[in-house]
Amino acid sequence: MIRCSKCQYINPTKCSPIKQICFVHSKCNRKKPKSKIISVPEVNKFIVECLRKLNVKDDKACILAKSLVKADYQGILSHGLNRLEHYIIDIKNKNCNPNADPKIISESASAAAVCGNNGLGAVIGVFCINIAIEKACKTGIAMVVAIGSNHFGVNSFYTEHAVSQGCIGMAFTNTSPLMVPTGAKKACFGTNPMSIAAPAGRCDRVVIDFATTSVSLGKIEMYRRRNQKIPIGWALDKHGKPTTDPAVAVKARRLSPLGGTASHKGTGLAIMVEILSGLLANSTYGPNVRVWGQKPFKPANLGHGFIVINPRRFISGFEKRLGDLLEHVRKLEPADPKRPMLVPGDMERARMKKVDEQGGIEYTNSHLKMIQRLVQDLGVKPPKFKS
């Protein structure tokens, strides 16, 4: 459990076990980048307007916008507006058919397979999770898999939707090869993220959502920009050897599985995600998935899997029990008194509260430049800034 020496935040940026310091604190000494606040409805409107210019139908554009804005609202800026240009490139290059409707291709009482017809990942994901919720409400548990899909954003977008219906949601997706299985030299799996979220009564919930690599490539890129070493156990060099040089790691694109000294468990989790998404769905899988944005452009044909459990079909009182457990964890004595305990999802809720308080999402200079590019390229109106 390596934590920031200043605030006990996990994932410190320096790998020294003595003088480790986290992302937040390492930023304290840095010049704050230029940023502007945009209200949530304004960001949403801007994304929809961009997509309209590409002839994306409103129902589809609204779903994609909602998924991207929610990520930003929760502070997951790597998966929000930041990704809009990638989606637009896919649409422009006809790698994705944004107006395609997903279709059920096989179905039973608690299972369905959906063909996404190379549509927008978020549209396909919402279609699938809704079927899974409907079936689980009848039978207790249901699973829906999707073939022919594209990047679907943040997994918790779907699992939280299941929670809003009183269910436990699980979401899995394969992604482009980046993870080197334990003992190998080359990447064979994606970061293969997974999420589970569950309702805990009285508006409480737990939302677990993570990649099955130790860290994302984006995080290593941040280290490179700051010229800081990365810890052993995050990535390999082009020869498949562990590296502490973020520049080498970014170039090699070979991430290590979650687990540190027990990375075989992270490898196992990546295989599990592949089973529950690409392999069951018959999409591309493992090393066959294309790298996003790399030539030659071709459809992603990603696979997703969604499992929904209806706790009311088991023993009553599930939400109360989970709420009790979450409260117990929050009340545990923290290792650092200044860092009260949180459960997964609390941090995102705190960020949403902050967005509400400040009247919008704070976007940095790189976002603002991207907005400017889109305004020029697509001829859309820029969003109104709050500051």
| Interactions with a copy of itself, residue window 189-208 (CB under 8 A) | 196, 198, 206, 208
Instruction: Give the integer Cα–Cα distance in Å for 153 and 149.
Output: 12
Nearer to a copy of itself, 268 or 299 (CB): 268
CB 233, CB 245: distance < 8 Å: no
Report CA 329 to chain centroid distance, whole Å.
Answer: 24
Show contacts with a copy of itself in window 161-180 (CB under 8 A): 168, 180
Q: How far is the CB of 215 from a copy of itself (least distance, A)?
A: 7
- Site size with a copy of itself, rule: CB under 8 A: 97
Regarding 210 and contact with a copy of itself (CB under 8 A), the answer is: yes
Decide: is 145 part of the binding site for a copy of itself (CB under 8 A).
yes
Of the residues 39, 78, 117, 139, which one makes contact with a copy of itself according to CB under 8 A = 139
3 touches a copy of itself (CB under 8 A): yes
Work out whether 218 is an interface residue with a copy of itself (CB under 8 A).
Answer: no
d(CA 135, CA 265): 32
CA pair distance 195, 308, nearest whole angstrom = 12
List binders of a copy of itself among 75-114 (CB under 8 A). Answer: 105-106, 108-113
Strand partners, 206: 198
What SS3 class is residue 342? coil
- Of 70-78, 137-145, 354-362, 374-382, the window that binds a copy of itself (rule: CB under 8 A) is 137-145
Instruction: Give how far Cα 115 sits from Cα of 94, 255, 301, 359, Å.
Output: 18, 30, 10, 39
Q: In degrees to the nearest 10, what's the CA dihedral of 236, 242, 243, 248?
A: -20
Position among 166, 240, 299, 382 found at the interface with a copy of itself (CB under 8 A): 240
Please choose, from the candidates 237, 197, 231, the residue with its C-alpha nearest in 3D space to the C-alpha of residue 214: 231
* Strand, coil or helix: 178: coil
Binding residue for a copy of itself, selected from 51, 100, 141, 217, defined by CB under 8 A: 141
Task: State the minimum distance, in angstroms, from the CB of residue 26 to a copy of itself.
Answer: 15
The nearest distance, CB 153 to a copy of itself, in angstroms, is 19
Residue 310 interacts with a copy of itself (CB under 8 A): yes or no: yes
Q: Which of 30, 31, 32, 183 binds a copy of itself (CB under 8 A)?
A: 183
Q: How far apart (Å, rounded) are the C-alpha atoms in residues 38 and 69?
A: 11
